[in-house]
């Protein structure tokens, strides 16, 4: 039986653990070849093992996404080797610190914005031409409930995700007449390291796992997907 992503080329950021690793495994099971991006080589190798066990294959790219020139080089390398990109999953993120905005360290603020917002802009800038070369390009940007409503002490993270949503909606409007489909995905409360840092008193066993929500990413990456410019809640 042919997988839903058979023969597709998918790039996943934040692929060394958590949601990114689970999505990589799910995509591999559906037949995609993966470009896995994260800072840690060890984490990427662990995800690669999961991909292989699922019957897939991956190209590992150790990369700090605040190295914007490296993102440009990545796009050039993908073009040189494959000429296109079918799926982008921008899953990376930094929580920063939970503290009142008036006390927020400016350097930490800039770091969170660089990772959560500016890196996504640079990924779009580098990879948009490749996604448009696909017959059914798909781009999925991971957002958060923190982007909406009053979020005391969530400062830079909340602001960065709200700005990401505005940017992605603009991008969706710019690509509406193309074959590219662009969406935001809100995972909700998921059993990840970042969630444990933000909510240390929470029982992790009460939460969905990354594997539980990975099928929603498959739905949005599927060439048959028609959703565009939406904010999709992975847990309904």
Res. 77: pLDDT tops 70: yes
Lowest mean pLDDT, pick from 8-17, 22-31, 117-126, 195-204: 195-204
Average pLDDT, the chain: 96
Q: How confident is the model at residue 236 (pLDDT cuts 50, 70, 90)?
A: confident
**pLDDT, tens digit (0-9, with 9 covering 90-100), for 97-155:** 999 999 999 999 999 999 999 999 999 999 999 999 999 999 999 999 999 999 999 99
215 contacts 178 by C-beta, under 8 angstroms: no
> What is the pLDDT averaged over residues 52-76?
97
CA distance 162 to 160: 6
Strand order in 87-90's β-sheet?
57-62, 33-38, 9-13, 87-90, 138-142, 181-186, 231-233
Radius of gyration of the chain (CA): 17
> Is 157 an annotated catalytic residue?
yes
**pLDDT, tens digit (0-9, with 9 covering 90-100), for 199-224:** 898 998 999 999 999 999 999 999 99
Tokens of 218: 């498959």
139 contacts 182 by C-beta, under 8 angstroms: yes
- Please give the domain boundaries of the chain with CATH numbers for all domains: 9-233 (3.40.50.720)
Active-site entry in 68, 79, 104, 157: 157
């Amino acid at each position: 039986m042919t997988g839903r992503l058979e023969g597709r080329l998918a790039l996943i950021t934040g692929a060394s653990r958590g949601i990114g690793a689970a999505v990589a495994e799910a995509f591999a099971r559906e037949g995609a070849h993966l470009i896995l991006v994260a800072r840690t080589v060890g984490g990427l190798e662990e995800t690669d093992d999961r991909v292989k066990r699922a019957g897939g294959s991956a190209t590992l790219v150790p990369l700090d996404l605040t190295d914007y020139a490296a993102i440009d080089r990545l796009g050039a390398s993908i073009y040189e080797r494959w000429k296109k990109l079918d799926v982008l999953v921008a899953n990376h993120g930094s929580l920063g610190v939970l503290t009142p905005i008036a006390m927020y360290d400016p350097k930490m603020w800039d770091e969170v914005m660089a990772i959560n917002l500016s890196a996504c802009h640079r990924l779009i800038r580098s990879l948009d031409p490749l996604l448009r070369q696909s017959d059914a390009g798909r781009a999925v940007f991971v957002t958060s409930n923190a982007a909406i409503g009053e979020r005391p002490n969530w400062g830079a993270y909340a602001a960065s995700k709200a700005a990401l949503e505005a940017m992605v909606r603009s991008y969706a409007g710019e690509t509406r007449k193309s074959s590219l489909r662009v969406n935001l995905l809100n995972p909700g409360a998921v059993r990840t390291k970042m969630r444990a840092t933000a909510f240390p008193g929470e029982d992790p066993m009460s939460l969905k796992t990354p594997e539980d929500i990975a099928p929603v990413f498959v739905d949005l990456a599927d060439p048959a997907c028609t959703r565009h410019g939406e904010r999709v809640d992975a847990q309904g």
